[in-house]
Amino acid sequence: MIRHLRRKKEYSQEYMAAHLDISQNAYSKLETGKIPMTIDRLCEVARILDIAPTELLAEVKLLENNV
């Protein structure tokens, strides 16, 4: 999951939100699948986490299937 990848990098939700220029609350909802992730946002998150967008997309799909 995205949370797992973020924690592996030791990044806080606040760190991610700041780099995405959104609130921590909005990032939390993005991470938990409560708001949909756009392709542009997915690419931004992947860049911050230093992973391929396709790898992150696989994580997002898993998350969406579990919501």
49 CB-near residues (< 8 Å, 6+ apart): 5, 6, 9, 11, 56
pTM for the full model? 0.83
CA dist., res. 67 & res. 20, Å (int): 23
| 1 or 19: which leads in pLDDT | 19
Digit-coded pLDDT (tens) for 10-64: 999 999 999 999 999 999 999 888 998 899 999 999 999 999 999 888 876 766 6
